[in-house]
Amino acid sequence: MSKESKLKMSLAKIGKSPWNKGKSGYKNAPCSKERKEKISKSRKGIVFSKEHIENLRNAHLGQKAWNKGTVGVLKHSEETRLKMSDSKKGAGSYQYKTDRSLLKKSEKKHLDSRYKEWMLSVKERDNWICQMKSDDCQGRLESHHIKNWQDNPHQRYDIDNGITLCSKHHPIGRRKEKETEMLFSQMIQKTAPQPVV
C-alpha cells in the first residue's frame, strides 16, 4: 500500500473502537447455566419426521467431507512446495533489491564477511601463533586491530593493521590499545616479507 492509502485508513479509524475491544474468545458472552439448561430442555423430545431426515440425507448425499482421508495438518505436494520456495527467492522476493549497492552493510564486525576474511588472513600470516610468544600465553587466538576499528574505517580490512594475539595478551580498553599501538606496528613491520632486490 502507498503511504497515502495508509494515512487515509489511519485517519478513517481515529476515534473508533474496534468491534472486539474488551471481548475475549467468542464474540458473544458465554451463556449462563440457567440459559443452557433452558435451551437443553426446549430441545429434548424433538423428533424429526422421516421425511425431514430423508431431506437432510439427500442434501448431503454424494458430497465428500473436505477433510476425508487427511490426518493432521494438510501438506502441499512437492511441486507446490518448490513453486512456493522459488517465488520467495532472488528477484521473486518482495525484499529483493536489483541495485546491490543499496544493500546495508553492518557496522558490527561479527556480521561482516569482509571482517571474517581479514581475521583469517591475519592469523594465516602469523602462522596461527600469538605474536607475543611467552610462557603465559593462554586462551583462544584473536585477530587484533592495531589502529582501532571504530576510528580508522579506511584501515579496517588492511592486513598490516592486524596482529594475532592470544586472549591473555589481547589489550582491553582504549588506553591499553593506544599504549600498545606503536609496539605492534613495529612487530608487524619486522615480520613483513622484504622485497627482493
**What is the pLDDT confidence band of residue 31, given thresholds at 50, 70 and 90?**
confident
Cα 143 from Cα 158, distance rounded (Å): 12
Cα 186 from Cα 160, distance rounded (Å): 11
Confidence at residue 197, expressed as pLDDT on a 0 to 100 scale: 44
Amino acid at 131: Q
Q: What is the pLDDT of residues 149-189, one digit of tens each?
A: 888 888 888 998 899 999 888 888 878 888 888 888 888 77
Residue 39 in grid coordinates = 435451551
- Whether 69 has a pLDDT exceeding 80, the answer reads no
**Mean pLDDT of the 12-32 span:** 77
Q: Which long-range CB contacts under 8 A does 148-156 form with residues at least 24 apart?
A: 148/174, 148/177, 149/109, 156/114, 156/115, 156/118
pTM equals 0.43
